[in-house]
Structure 1
Amino acid sequence: MTTNPLTVLPLRAARWSATHPWRAIAAWLSFVVLAVGLASVVSGVETEDADYRLGESGRADELVLEAGLDRPDSESVLITAGDGDLDREAAERAAARIAGGMAGLEGVDAVAAPQWSPDGTALLVAVQLARDGEVDVDPLREVTAAAQAAEPGLEIRQAGDVSLDEAIDERVGDDLAAAEGISVPITLVLMLVAFGALIAAGLPVLLAFTSVAATIGIMAPVTHLVPAEGTVTSMIVLIGMAVGVDYSLFYLKREREERAAGRTTLEAVEIAAQTSGHSILVSGGAVIASMTGLFVMGGATFNSLAVGSIIVVAVAVLGSITVLPALLVKLGRWVDRPRVPLLWRLNSRIGRGGLSRRLLGPVVRRPGVALALSGVVVAALAAPALGLRTNAANLETLPASIPEVATMRDLSAAFPAEGAAATVVVRADPAQQDRLSAALADLERRAVATGDYVESGEEAATSADGRTTVLRIGMPYDEADERVNEALRELRTDLVPAAFDGLEAETAVGGGAAENLDYLDRQSDRLPLVIGFVLLLTFLMMLATFRSVPIALLSTALNLASVGVSFGFMVLVFQHGWGADLLDFDTPGFVIDWLPLFVLVVLIGLSMDYHVFVVSRIREHLDAGLPARLAVQRGIADTAGVVTSAAAVMVSVFAIFATLSMLEMKMMGVGLSAAILLDATIIRLVMLPAALVLLGDRAWWPRRPAGSPHAVTGARPAPSLVRR
């Protein structure tokens, strides 16, 4: 009997579940209901601005908050021409109506005097909201709407901190609802194609759905330890549906295969536990190991995404090795009912590996040529990744179809000081106030003289105790412009030190653009550590699983190839605009900064799902005594149908996210779906078998295949679940 814990654990779990099916099913249902109930009794904790502080910008933000100089939320009303030239008198009448109507509203602290744009084509009314509590901006919208009705020749639009956040939250909610509504039926259709029977098709979807629901419930109390980032629910749905369906698919396919070979249901469940259950544990461990790399990067976003992803994978693994065997035992051969006649016949006619054998034949006969050609294809698709450019999400990455986003874009264009800006924070002895004011004025002159800054029109603000002063300097660029980071570096290293030379003061440059710069610097510093950590951890897992150095190295190399393809596609689509019209977005010219790292760890983890499944089957044939070449060919042919179905599920789920309006979701969907599609075809059906055939028995060094006289009969693991 094997002593490998990765085999013993799923075997024991399957044995208990199979012999106590109703208890196992009841336990799983109780777990899911309890987990979902947690979300209704425990309120979740979301990330706050302070959770994202880092570097010099974080220190600047802290100083501003301590001094009580933080900028309150604001709303802006932009008045432009409805058609033709702007009627200045009408615009001023509308501005006066808006200012008068909003000044007395609850939650409004102040309304600034109307401000004309430098070119005179727009008029701005800025409204400062109350600092304490949430402000309802609907009454402000009513004033804006009344002004529009009174001046139909103008275009009067409102946007700001509160209204923009509300609009984005609403759009994200609509996107998630659409993704969930589409992903379930599509996944069910794919499972029907894979199994040809309704019950067999429904089980993986049901397990994935309950795993996602349970995880969302569990996250409620967990957020008190690790606050939840706004996109974590999307990640849980994305990854939970993919791995939940795949794990069930691996298990169910093997159980049906063994029953078709004449095994009883109990025997088939045990063999599935020994083989597919083992692969599920290793695959789940690989995903979890990859996700832990996000903790190395740190920060609110990555910590939250890592926790959510790890929990949903662990829950999916738990369900696959407990409740799934119980359901299979209770259903027995009813799992193949009711059959969908056409799909059932098609599934039976194709058989195991029927479509892949034609491809595998030439690959096995000419492995060197196959490896070279496939390597060229992969290298060509990955080459654009060398030009990868990242930047933080900004107005340009938000959907222009959101009215508030369009308004803010026009506002930034008409009033450059409302775009990118730097906030200079100075803490000094109040006795130096006169010298400090002179230094700030000198700093603003120096900054404007560089051409990278513009006068904001705002006076420097000083705290009540006179110790902290804040000066905001605008830039004539949007935040995605490469010149912003160069200007900020010059401000920090040259302009600020020169202006405050001789003054005993603490200075820090902050603001939204500076936060982006500090994040990019941190990512550049830690990214090599994260990549090294993830690759080393997955290498060690493959080494421990297969006891083979070449297999572990080959797994790492193929994973890197998949990552390269993913990055290459993201560059082509989102930096160069390939397919922008098809996906309905405006090309930002960069990839949102946190996505490459997240895609890397997700892809490495998920691609290990079917990689482990395929290599484990090859190992089975080797241990049964087949020659290396034949073991590779038969192992890949045996698993090709499962790999195709698993990849189809992942690609379809990720592709749904590529159709959503939020650009982060589009980027993630494109990067993951394209890479997994190529990974499941060229990499796993061509590169992997070609490399293994070329290596022969050396691929399994230092552990040699065990060999067995039962090779010609295709011996399988001996059943021991039913005691005789």
Structure 2
Amino acid sequence: STMNTSVSNHSLHNHSSSNNFFSSIGRVVLAHRRIVILIWVIVFLAGGFAASRVVNRLSYNFATPGQPGYVASQKILQHFGNGGQNAPAITVIAGVDSSNSSTVGAALEAVAKQYPSIRFVDSFNAPGLDLLRHGNEVVYLFTGPPTSLAPSSLPNQITAALAHDLPSLHVALTGETELAAAGKSSGLGVLAETIVAGVGALAILAFVFASVLAVIPLVIAAVSILATFLILLGLSYVTQVSFVVEFLVSLIGLGIAIDYSLLIVTRWREERGNGLANRDAILMSMATAGRSVALSGVTVGVGLLALIVLPVPLLRSTGIGGVLIPIISITVVLTLLPVLLSLIGERLDWPHRRIARSGSPSWHRIGEIITGHAWPSLIIAGGLVIVFALPVLGIRLGQDQATSQSSSTPASVAYHSLLGTGYTAGILTPLEVISSPAKAAHIDTILHTVPGIVASALPAGRSGTRTGLADTIAIPNVETVNSATFAPVNAVTSLAKHDPSIIGVSGLGANDLDSAHAIYGQTPLMLAVIAILTFILLSTALKSIVLAIKAVVVNLFSLAATFGILTWFWQSGHLSRLVFGIPATGAITFWIPISIFAFLFGLSMDYEVFILTRIREEYGTFGSTRTAIVNGLSRTGKLVTSAAIILFLAFASLASAPLTDIRVLATGLGIGILVDATIIRGIAVPALIQLFGRTNWWMPTWWSEFGNKQTTT
């Protein structure tokens, strides 16, 4: 204890006497406490106002600008006002025969006049599509672009009107969007999800601190979240802000702000337990844990570059919103938290059960076991990672299959009735092939020769031709929603490249193919850039080439394990039905893996930074790798575990959202955090550091000198 106290005092002297940027921040905010609190109170109140306004300004744009399917979709919307990249709704009229066919046709004509914004395609205006089979009439309802997560209400209204006009026939509504939305509850809502996660986080914090001090990280998180919403409101007037950002800011923002607060408050308590005065303990925490927080936030930001540079508005705005989370959390933590600790920290640290000066005894023992049995520990951790990662070899990218939806909903019943009467699954995902009206007959003819296309036709009248553009409908033999079912889409788009009479190809399948190209076309280069930036950042901060390389490589293994579990959980359906009551999705939506990579790459680096910076600090004091690992784990093991559980609770709360895609995203992030904080950072990382020995600390002289300059400025 005496040695630890002297070390802490010596370290404080060094940090205080040098021009340490983070301790300087501490001095400034402590000297202007009233101003700091006033500023953040104003931001908090303004953020509360902004949070209620930004929801109405969120974008539901799934565009992929510059991609051929999107360009064709925009032409269709320009000429027809509907259709394009969204799959049509489908009204199914059962019981149609020669005795009532004219009545059905008259009812469709009347409803079409009542809803001029909707394009109707049926067996009456497009007999070549073979939409009437065994008494089932399929009516395509092409609608405009979505304006919310909920499907358009117009198809329901049209279906109800037809049911009213055709009382002797059974009329039902189905379609890709309707199947995805059917049977889904409204969920808790973002506010309720955040409150639930906050309550869970408070319970973890109460266990960690065993004092009322547990409320301070929640206060920091509340200020950070509302401050982020305030900036998002301003950004919404400059650029699109995706609806996904609302969930991420509330729940990931909650977890990150609490994690960063937890790191500094834990270090503050440790220094107070070592005998430092309150102000000195705050400055010491800022100089050490504050630096780790800043480094962690930057690594999160680097990972999110993967989203910002993509030519997809949905993901770009998600990346921008994601970057705001660590930036604002760092700002609040480094300015408001020191002030709160100076004003009320000691009073809230009741009943004064401070962390033992030697760290966590449990994690001290774990550190000794791992360092004493490094090879067995690494083999166990590596074996688990490989087993978890294996399913990723069969991952499919795309949207949920119709068969993954509940089979008991009206939309699903209607869809399965179509399959039972001879329709192909591709009835849900027709392609739209556009041309000049003069070339439409030629295109219809050649589409009949394309492999995977079972029917095609140009609808008569305004349903197929408007303002000089013809829109020929083609039905594939499969539901074209993922990488395993794109063959018909590829065949038609390949035809379009060689036939100048085809202006473009659109539809859900073409849009999904666009998404695959836009998101993953430059992935190898993007991953390389992010890995290099992270390596430079960590090697400079940790003063070690080896530790930086290890961190990047280990992170990739951690991500592989996460994607493997996600594939097994959702795509194969081994746990999706048990946990969420949802059958196997058959694929993982395109934007989800890259989003998980972007967030998880940075979030998992948080824990790497927390652990390695402390191990590096202990090595600088004692000069022993094993002692540094054991002491570092004893100081950070409980912290990292608690932080991971808090983030997991946030993701578990996010998984209560009614949208399957959000649930898949939340599941991936939650699983990834647990795997990373336990198997990777808790076992593999300390085992590797022990095996590397003195090699861990190798650094070229010129780079080391550069790093020293950066540290002192």
Q: TM-score, normalised by structure 2?
A: 0.83
Which one-letter code corresponds to 1:474 in the other structure? I
Is 1:12–2:24 an aligned residue pair?
A: yes
Q: Deviations over 1:261-287 (max 9, x none)?
A: 222211111111011101000000110
- The one-letter code sitting in structure 2 at the alignment partner of 1:258 is E
Q: For 1:131 and 1:482, how far apart are their aligned partners in 2?
A: 24
Shift in alpha-carbon separation, 1:169–1:46, aligned structure 2, 3 A: farther
* RMSD (CA atoms): 4.0
Report how far residue 147 of structure 1 moved: 7.4
Could you give the per-residue CA deviations for residues 358-382 of structure 1, whole angstroms, max 9, x where no partner exists?
3222211122232233222222222
Secondary structure (helix, strand or coil) at the match of 1:473 reads strand
Q: 1:505 to 1:111 in 2, by over 3 A?
A: closer
Corresponding residue number in structure 2 for 1:707: none
Q: Which residue of 1 aligns with 2:7?
A: none
Q: CA deviation at 1:601?
A: 1.7
AA paired with 1:567? Answer: F
Q: Could you tell me which residue of structure 2 aligns to residue 479 of structure 1?
A: 480
Deviations 1:56-104 (A, max 9, x none): 2123224334545753997654345xxxxx6979997996896588467
Corresponding position: 1:645 with 2:657: no
Query: 2:569, 2:575 within 8 Å by CA — same for their partners in 1?
Result: yes
CA 172–298 in structure 1, closer or farther in 2 if over 3 Å, else same: farther
Partner of 1:714: none
Q: Aligned in 2, Cα 1:580/1:143: closer, same or farther, shift over 3 Å?
A: closer
Aligned runs of 1:473-512 on 2, under 5 Å? 473-480=474-481, 482=483, 484-493=485-494, 495-496=495-496, 500=499, 505=501, 507-512=503-508
Query: 1 CA distance for matches of 2:340 and 2:677?
Result: 29
Q: Which letter does structure 1 place at the counterpart of 2:387?
A: A
Answer yes or no: is 1:197 the counterpart of 2:211. yes
Whether the 8 Å contact between 1:98 and 1:144 is mirrored in structure 2 is no
Asked if 1:261 corresponds to 2:274, the answer is: yes
Mind listing any 5+ residue stretches in structure 1 that lack a counterpart? 81-85, 705-724
Residue 121 of structure 1 and its aligned partner are, at CA, apart by: 5.5
Q: Which amino acid aligns with 1:478?
A: E
1:41 CA drift (Å):
6.9
Mapped pair 1:420 → 2:438: no
Q: What residue identity is the alignment partner of 1:253?
A: T
Distance change (3 Å), C-alpha of 1:49 and 1:19 = closer
Q: Aligned AA for 2:71?
A: R
Give the residue type in structure 1 aligned to 2:619: L
Secondary structure of 1:470 counterpart: strand
Which of these residues, 588, 592, 596, is aligned with residue 591 of structure 1?
A: 588
Q: How does 1:407-486 map to 2 (within 5 A)?
A: 416=424, 418-427=427-436, 433=438, 436-447=439-450, 450-455=451-456, 458-459=459-460, 466=468, 468-480=469-481, 482=483, 484-486=485-487
CA distance in 1 between counterparts of 2:140 and 2:501 reads 33
In structure 1, what is the Cα distance between the partners aligned to 2:49 and 2:636? 39
Matched, 1:57 2:69: yes
Match of 2:294 among 281, 301, 307: 281
Q: CA deviation at 1:506?
A: 5.7
Match of 1:722 in 2: none
Aligned match of 1:238: 251
Aligned-partner Cα distance in 1 for 2:692–2:176: 60
Contact in 2 for aligned 1:419/1:476 (Cα 8 Å): no
1:315 matched to 2:324? The reply is: no
CA drift of 1:122 comes to: 3.3
1:569 to 565, 568, 573: 565
Q: Distance in 1 between matches of 2:598 and 2:229?
A: 21
Alignment of 1:290-689 (within 5 A): 290-337=303-350, 352-392=359-399, 416=424, 418-427=427-436, 433=438, 436-447=439-450, 450-455=451-456, 458-459=459-460, 466=468, 468-480=469-481, 482=483, 484-493=485-494, 495-496=495-496, 500=499, 505=501, 507-583=503-579, 584-689=581-686
Partner of 1:83: none
- Tell me the distance in 2 between the aligned counterparts of 1:623 and 1:132: 58
Shift of 1:186: 1.1
CA distance in 1, matches of 2:663, 2:144: 36
**Which amino acid letter does the alignment assign opposite residue 444 of structure 2?**
A
Distance 1:672 1:536 in 2: 23
1:444 aligned partner, one-letter code: L
Instruction: Quickly say closer, same or farther: Cα 1:308–1:406, change in 2 above 3 A.
Output: farther
Q: Which amino acid aligns with 1:443?
A: I
User: How far, CA to CA, are the matches of 1:137 and 1:386 in structure 2?
Assistant: 37
Q: Secondary structure at the match of 1:180?
A: helix
Q: Which has the larger displacement, 407-416 or 650-659?
A: 407-416
Find the aligned partners of 1:563 and 1:136 in 2 and give their Cα distance.
33
Q: Contact (CA 8 Å) 2:60, 2:243: kept in 1 or not?
A: no
Aligned AA for 1:549? I
| Whole-angstrom distance in 2 between the partners of 1:640 and 1:358 | 11
The 3 A distance-change label for structure 1 pair 191 and 226 is: same
More divergent stretch after superposition (151-160 vs 13-22): 151-160
> Which letter maps to 1:528?
P
* Contact 1:360-1:633 at 8 Å conserved across structures: yes
> Given the superposition, is the C-alpha separation of residues 398 and 368 from structure 1 closer, same or farther in structure 2, using an over 3 Å criterion?
same
Cα drift, residue 25 of structure 1: 1.6
- For the pair 1:228 / 2:228, whether they are aligned, the reply is no
SS state at 1:425 partner: strand
- Picking from 41, 58, 61, the partner of 1:29 is 41
Provide the rounded CA distance (Å) in 1 between the counterparts of 2:378 and 2:627.
18
* Aligned 1:132-281 pairs, distance under 5 A: 156-158=171-173, 174-198=188-212, 200-281=213-294
Query: For the Cα contact (< 8 Å) 1:399–1:661, is it kept in 2?
Result: no
Measured at CA, do residues 113 and 515 of structure 1 come closer, stay the same or move farther in structure 2, by a change above 3 Å? closer
Q: Percent identity?
A: 22
Check whether the contact 2:464–2:470 (CA below 8 A) recurs between aligned residues.
yes
Structure 2 unmatched ranges of 5 or more: 1-12, 125-129, 702-713
Q: d(CA) in 1 for partners of 2:182 and 2:233?
A: 22
Deviation at 1:239, TM superposition (A): 1.8
Deviation of 1:526 after TM superposition, in Å, equals: 1.0
Q: Which amino acid aligns with 1:615?
A: L
Change beyond 3 A, Cα 1:551–1:19: same
- Match for 2:429: what amino acid? A
Counterpart check, 1:701 vs 2:698:
yes
- How much has 1:520 moved relative to structure 2? 1.4
> Which letter maps to 2:585?
P
For 2:704, the equivalent position in structure 1 comes to: none
Aligned mates of 2:360, 2:603 — CA distance in 1: 22
**C-alpha separation between the residues in 1 aligned to 2:603 and 2:18?**
18
**Deviates most, 305-314 or 693-702:** 693-702
Secondary structure of the corresponding residue to residue 486 of structure 2: helix
**Structure 1's 443 and 305: CA in aligned 2 closer, same or farther, altered over 3 A?**
same
> What are the Cα deviations for residues 201-222 of structure 1, in whole angstroms up to 9, with x where unaligned?
2221222122122212321221
